[in-house]
Amino acid sequence: MAHEDAAISQRVRALETELERRGVVDGATLDGILDRLLARSTPREGARVIARAWVDQAFRDRLGDDGNAAIAELGLSMSHGPAPQRLRVVENTERVHNVVVCTLCSCYPISLLGPSPSWYKSEAYRSRVVRWPREVLAEFGLELPAETEIRVWDASAETRYLVLPRRPAGTENATEQELAGLVTRAGMIGSAAV
């Protein structure tokens, strides 16, 4: 049985082959772009952003105003191709919980979260979380109070989303590095609390 991503992989390879054939880009350039992107692409990068926002209110404000500029302060970037993606950071509060999806394909801030989890790319997640977010989150083990508003953000080729989870209680004396260790990729997508 073929993996569900096999068809997408074949289409990507066909596109790469056509771009190379037309002289738009060569294989070595494509490999270099991917190597540079994936060399630092890990959820630890996003966790650094979240931890900084938890300890530095001014950074948190800048992150909400202009995610791209704020992450640049940490040496991070959303520029990986001809046009940078806009990073929009949405903050969880006591009354609002945010969750991210890409209903069209699987747009996702790879540079901050590493390669996307297979469930994020699945048709089941992409179609169901928009209609039944509370139920889908419960399937991930995240039970939210009935009064909590759930906002679903649809990522695109132009705009990627990062959820700023609520800082866990009892972490007032934790260092920024310790806080970063608490943040999960699922929390930054919104399918977990942290």
Catalytic residue among 105, 122, 127, 191: 105
Catalytic residue among 9, 41, 79, 102: 102
Active site residue 191: no
Burial of 23 (0-12, 13-18, 19+ CB in 10 A): exposed
Active site residue 41: no
In degrees, rounded to 5, the angle at the alpha carbon of residue 149 between the alpha carbons of residues 160 and 127 is: 55
Active site residue 79: no
Which amino acid, one-letter code, is at 39?
A: A
Active site residue 102: yes
Residues with Cβ within 8 Å of 183's Cβ and at least 6 positions away in sequence, in order, are 43, 46, 47, 50, 51, 165, 194
Catalytic residue among 106, 111, 116, 122: 106
Catalytic residue among 9, 77, 79, 107: 107
Q: Which residues are designated catalytic?
A: 102, 105-107
